[in-house]
Structure 1
Amino acid sequence: MPDSRTYIDIHVLQTVPPSNLNRDDAGSPKQAIYGGARRARVSSQAWKRATRLAFDDELHIPRRTLGTRTKRIATLLATRLADRTGLDNEAAARLGNALLAHDLNIKPGRKAEETAYLLFVGHNQIDAIVDLVADRATELAALADDALTKTVADLPVRAQLATKHPIDVALFGRMVADIPTLNVDAATQVAHALSVHPVEIEFDYYTAVDDEKTRDDDAGAAMIGTVEFTSATLYRFATLNVQHLAQNLENDQEAALAAARAFLRAFVTSMPTGHQNTFAHRTVPSLVSYLVRTDQPVNLVSAFEQPIRSRDGIAAKAVVRLAEELNHTSTAWGLTPLAKATVYDPASNLTAISPNNRGANATSLEQAFGTPQVLEEAIDSVLNAVAPRLGERTPR
Structure 2
Amino acid sequence: MSITNPFRNTRIEYHILQSFPVTCLNRDDVGAPKTAIVGGSTRARVSSQCWKRQVRLSMQDFGIKLGIRSKKVSEFVAKACLQKGASEEQAAECGKVISDSFSKDTLFFFSESEAQAFADYAREKNFDSKNLNDKEIRKVAKKALNPAIDGLDIALFGRMVAQATDLNIEAAASFSHAISTHKVSNEVEFFTALDDLAEEPGSAHMGSLEFNSATYYRYISLDLGQLWESIGGEHLAEAVESLTKALFVAVPSARQTTQSGASPWEFAKIFIRKGQRLQVPFETAVKAKDGGYLQPSITALTDYLTKKEALAGSLFGKEKEFTFGEDVNFSIDDLIKGLKLTVAEVQ
Mean Cα deviation higher: 84-93 or 374-383: 84-93
Q: What is the distance in 2 between the residues matched to 1:187 and 1:106? A: 23
Match of 1:24 among 24, 28, 41: 28
CA 1:12–1:154 in 2, change beyond 3 Å: closer, same or farther?
A: closer
Q: What is the aligned-residue RMSD (CA, Å)?
A: 2.1
Q: What is the distance in 1 between the residues matched to 2:187 and 2:225? A: 44
Q: 1:237 matched to which residue of 2?
A: 219
Contact 2:21 2:213 in 1 (8 A): yes
- 1:159 maps to 2:158: no
Give the counterpart letter for 2:234 in structure 1: Q
Q: What is the distance in 2 between the residues matched to 1:331 and 1:373? A: 26
Q: 1:43 matched to which residue of 2?
A: 47
Q: CA deviation at 1:76?
A: 1.1
Q: CA deviation at 1:95?
A: 2.8
* SS at structure 2 position matched to 1:331: helix
Match of 2:319 among 326, 331, 338: 338
Match of 1:270 among 250, 270, 279: 250
CA 1:117–1:26 in 2, change beyond 3 Å: closer, same or farther?
A: same
- 1:258 maps to 2:238: yes
CA 1:60–1:68 in 2, change beyond 3 Å: closer, same or farther?
A: same
Q: CA deviation at 1:257?
A: 2.4
Q: What is the distance in 1 between the residues matched to 2:135 and 2:112? A: 19
1:139-178 correspondence runs (5 A): 139-140=126-127, 148-153=128-133, 156-162=136-142, 163-165=145-147, 166-178=151-163
Q: CA deviation at 1:383?
A: 2.5
Contact 1:292 1:338 in 2 (8 A): yes
* SS at structure 2 position matched to 1:308: coil
Q: 1:144 matched to which residue of 2?
A: none
Contact 1:329 1:336 in 2 (8 A): no
TM-score, with structure 1 as normaliser: 0.79
Q: What is the distance in 1 between the residues matched to 2:103 and 2:299? A: 52
Q: 2:336 matched to which residue of 1?
A: 379
Contact 2:74 2:98 in 1 (8 A): no
CA 1:105–1:154 in 2, change beyond 3 Å: closer, same or farther?
A: closer
Mean Cα deviation higher: 157-166 or 283-292: 157-166
Q: CA deviation at 1:86?
A: 4.5
Contact 1:290 1:341 in 2 (8 A): yes
Q: 2:184 matched to which residue of 1?
A: 199
Q: How many residues align?
A: 335
* SS at structure 1 position matched to 2:56: helix
* SS at structure 2 position matched to 1:49: helix
Give the counterpart letter for 1:159 in structure 2: K
1:290-309 correspondence runs (5 A): 290-301=270-281, 304-309=282-287
**Structure 1 residues 198-238: Cα deviation after superposition (integer angstroms, max 9, x where no partner):** 10100111111111112xx3x33221111111100000001
**Structure 1 residues 126-167: Cα deviation after superposition (integer angstroms, max 9, x where no partner):** 122122234x58x43xxxxxxx23322377221233342421
Indicate the structure (1 or 2) with the bigger Cα radius of gyration: 1
Match of 1:124 among 113, 123, 133: 113
Identity %: 30
Q: What is the distance in 1 between the residues matched to 2:293 and 2:102? A: 53
Q: CA deviation at 1:325?
A: 1.4
Q: 2:97 matched to which residue of 1?
A: 98
Q: What is the distance in 1 between the residues matched to 2:84 and 2:159? A: 30
TM-score, with structure 2 as normaliser: 0.89
**Structure 1 residues 334-373: Cα deviation after superposition (integer angstroms, max 9, x where no partner):** 22521012221259xxxxxxxxxxxxxxxxxxxxxxxx62
